[in-house]
Structure 1
Amino acid sequence: KEGDHMLMLNVYNYYLYKNKSKKWCYENGMNPSIMARAVELRANLEKYLKKLAASKGIPLASSSDPDTLLQCIAKGFFANAARLSTNSTHYITVKDSRKVSIHPASLFANYGIPPQWVIYHEVTLTTSEFIRNVSQINPLWLTQIAPHYFQRPRRHEDLFAAPTSSSACARDTIGAKRKDTPSELQQAKRPKSKNPDLERYLKQDFQF
């Protein structure tokens, strides 16, 4: 139910469980070379993270909790958020209010109920614009992860309320800053910080 990223992680873990079997890959439509490359990349990333954590004195921990993993992905792709339209026929991107659809290869295009909020990796253009590698997120994560990009809504429940129009859903619901954003949102209170450099950064008039 979480989406494509957790599905890919489950496939990866099962590949390891099957002792990296090429036969299993062929039987399930997987490319054994790509799966082997994924194992190699993960080992390199783990080695790098351990070295970085040791140099900074940061404890390194792992987690299998889906929410924790999805928050990590959202932190890297917070600008690639989209919300389901009022008629549930497409999604509206937060960044530029574009109408997009979930790619047919995505889990959500074939199973279950489309989630209200998603994070995606990329937009591809074929017969229409599709978002690929899609996962469900909690929209409240966005204001926690990137307060410089999103303004906190007046009420948390506003994030889950249906927008009055599809073009306003991303802009007015969570207040992503744009030139045509209402003045009261432009002047909304930003998160406080004791860091003067961060304060100057947050006071910039962000345009997207």
Structure 2
Amino acid sequence: MDVLSASELRCLFSWHRGSPDAQTACCPGVMEENLSHLVLLLKRLDIADMGQCKFLDRPAPEALMQALEDLDYLAALDDDGNLSEVGIIMSELPLEPPLAKSLIAACEYDCVDELLTVAAMLTAPSCFAAVEASRKEAAVALWRPVMHDAGDHMTLINVYNAFDEAWCSANFLSHAALRLAVVIRAELLDVMQRIELPVSPPAFGSPDNCTNIKRALLSGFFLRVAHDVDGSGNYLLLTHRHVAHLHPFSSYLCLQPSPSPPSWVLYHEFTISSDNCICIASEVHPQMLVELAPQYFLGNLPASDGKELLMDLRQSLAPPSADLDSQEHNKTQKDSSETHSQPSTELCAVQ
């Protein structure tokens, strides 16, 4: 049996995934690539000795170790390195692991209907047609009515809910890409029903729905968070230590009047190019990061101004009982030290 190349394995095990926005045409560059989806499926197939890379034509230990680390952060692996219950469910979904984890988390936040749409739109090729430079302003003007002020993920839901063939033709949108998104969404829904995951009814537009969508997305994409370091849209990718900017077609840049750049964003992917674009970004509150992934953001995240801000936020959010406990602990230590000067009978009484 011939040894498969890495590219052949990726084609065998993964969806054809186009860029989720018009960044492919406007921000050509190297896309962030990760083997976590491939490793997840290989784990499901119980392929052993992955560290030896026997299934690849060239060893890539760094990429494999990074993929295993990412899966561990997503709770897809147990203490022995095997698939956890969450990892088994994630492997059932034909999605990249962060997106699969987000879809599972949506069951908890009652936004499964919306996450199915987001997952389908992010998995299908870009629905935004490539336009010539001279027609970009016209295209943005046509896209603006469906752009959502809560972020680009909500914009994708708006586009999906509004499209039809005539509307796509008139608005520089790809009808074929959106039709594929419909097929992908239907398949994802079938998988969820087959494995008996709860599917909540549509609630897009309700007061808490956008917040719940972002919480579900953060459950899977907490490794893809960026912080505006100077208030002018220069984003430091917390995990990669790379500075990037919002994509020119992001709703935060195209809406009128244009809002201030969000301080913290969750992004789907980024391009390493002359423009260094963050693609598909939605504002998140740093409190969500502290609540949903404290182990990563307060522990494993490399030192940075962003981490210090999160540490300060965690301290400010500490419940009053924590302060009382700290005071009581200090008092106990003081009392204990004082007992060393007392007779042994008193010491026994304190103990």
TM-score by length of 1: 0.67
1:4 aligns to 2:158 (yes or no): no
Deviation of 1:97 after TM superposition, in Å, equals: 3.0
**Counterpart residue type for residue 10 of structure 1:** N
The structure that is strand-richer by fraction is 1
Deviation of 1:90 after TM superposition, in Å, equals: 0.7
Which residue, out of 179, 182, 185, partners 1:42?
A: 185
Question: After the TM superposition, which residues 118-133 of structure 1 pair with which residues of structure 2 at under 5 Å, given as runs?
Answer: 118-133=265-280
**Counterpart residue type for residue 117 of structure 1:** W
**Residue by residue, what CA displacement relative to the aligned partner does 1:71-92 show, whole Å, maximum 9, x if unpaired?**
1111111111111123424111
Q: For the residues of structure 2 that align with 1:33 and 1:87, how far apart are their CA atoms?
A: 38
Aligned to 2:304: 168
Contiguous gaps of at least 5 residues in structure 2: 1-148, 312-351
Aligned length: 152
Q: For the residues of structure 1 that align with 2:233 and 2:178, how far apart are their CA atoms?
A: 34
**Residue by residue, what CA displacement relative to the aligned partner does 1:133-186 show, whole Å, maximum 9, x if unpaired?**
11111111112222221228xxxxxxxxxxxxxx932232225xxxxxxxxxxx
Deviation of 1:10 after TM superposition, in Å, equals: 0.6
Q: For the residues of structure 1 that align with 2:192 and 2:231, how far apart are their CA atoms?
A: 43
Q: For the residues of structure 2 that align with 1:50 and 1:169, how far apart are their CA atoms?
A: 43
Q: 1:87 to 1:14 in 2, by over 3 A?
A: closer
Greater alpha carbon shift after TM alignment, 105-114 vs 129-138: 105-114
Deviation of 1:46 after TM superposition, in Å, equals: 1.0
Aligned to 1:117: 264
Q: 1:30 to 1:117 in 2, by over 3 A?
A: same
Aligned to 1:27: 170
**Counterpart residue type for residue 114 of structure 1:** P
Deviation of 1:5 after TM superposition, in Å, equals: 0.6
- 2:231, 2:263 within 8 Å by CA — same for their partners in 1? no
Q: For the residues of structure 1 that align with 2:233 and 2:262, how far apart are their CA atoms?
A: 12
SS in 2 for 1:2: coil
1:98 aligns to 2:242 (yes or no): yes
Aligned to 2:285: 138
- 2:266, 2:282 within 8 Å by CA — same for their partners in 1? yes
Greater alpha carbon shift after TM alignment, 121-130 vs 31-40: 121-130
Aligned to 2:28: none
- 2:233, 2:246 within 8 Å by CA — same for their partners in 1? no
Q: For the residues of structure 2 that align with 1:49 and 1:136, how far apart are their CA atoms?
A: 28
SS in 1 for 2:239: coil
- 1:97, 1:171 within 8 Å by CA — same for their partners in 2? no
Q: For the residues of structure 2 that align with 1:143 and 1:60, how far apart are their CA atoms?
A: 27
**Counterpart residue type for residue 78 of structure 1:** F
RMSD: 1.9
Q: 1:37 to 1:84 in 2, by over 3 A?
A: same
Q: For the residues of structure 2 that align with 1:100 and 1:131, how far apart are their CA atoms?
A: 6
Tell which structure's C-alpha radius of gyration is larger: 2
Aligned to 1:76: 220
**Counterpart residue type for residue 76 of structure 1:** G
Q: 1:29 to 1:128 in 2, by over 3 A?
A: closer
Q: For the residues of structure 2 that align with 1:76 and 1:31, how far apart are their CA atoms?
A: 28
The structure that is helix-richer by fraction is 2
- 1:92, 1:169 within 8 Å by CA — same for their partners in 2? no
Question: Where has structure 1 moved over 6 Å in runs of 4 or more?
Answer: none
SS in 2 for 1:128: coil
1:60 aligns to 2:192 (yes or no): no
**Counterpart residue type for residue 93 of structure 1:** L
**Residue by residue, what CA displacement relative to the aligned partner does 1:56-75 show, whole Å, maximum 9, x if unpaired?**
xx543244211111211111
Q: 1:141 to 1:87 in 2, by over 3 A?
A: closer
SS in 2 for 1:134: strand
TM-score by length of 2: 0.41
